[in-house]
Amino acid sequence: QVQLVESGGGLVQAGGSLRLSCAASGRSFSTYAMGWFRQAPGKERESVTAISWSGVSTYYADSVKGRFTISRDNAKNTVYLQMNSLKPEDTAVYYCAARSGLATMSPHEYHYWGQGTQVTVSS
């Protein structure tokens, strides 16, 4: 069992940056692949990025490639999402998620979810 708590969301102007954190508690965090997903009002949850348990492999949605960076610190049981050059269309609730096995961009394959953190980008 893994419990996930996101933090770092907030209001930022377009072009600005935010760093989200996802702190995990429970056993064997370093064996879990992690992902970040987001959901805007009236829209389906979409994949943002994912990272393998080792941190060696990362994956990004085309919409955030070159602007967002996922990383993890297994010693701190934390995964991060650095978001640069933010756009109004990045406004959403951002969720982190964990799964046993390989990293994937499919939200349906994640077993554990945080409660989400709101990111609002003003134009």
pLDDT of residue 42: 94
Q: Which residue has the tokens 């702190």?
A: 23
pLDDT of residue 28: 86
- Strand 117-122 relative to strand 10-13, pairing: parallel
The separation between CA 110 and the C-alpha centre of its own chain, rounded to angstroms, equals: 12
pLDDT of residue 88: 97
pLDDT of residue 73: 96
The series of mean pLDDT values per 10 residues for the chain, 123 residues long, is 95 98 90 97 96 97 98 96 98 97 95 97 96
What letters, b where the CB count within 10 A reaches 16 and e where it falls short, cover 43-69? eebebbbbbbbebeeebbbeebeeebb
Which run of H or E residues covers position 70?
strand 68-73
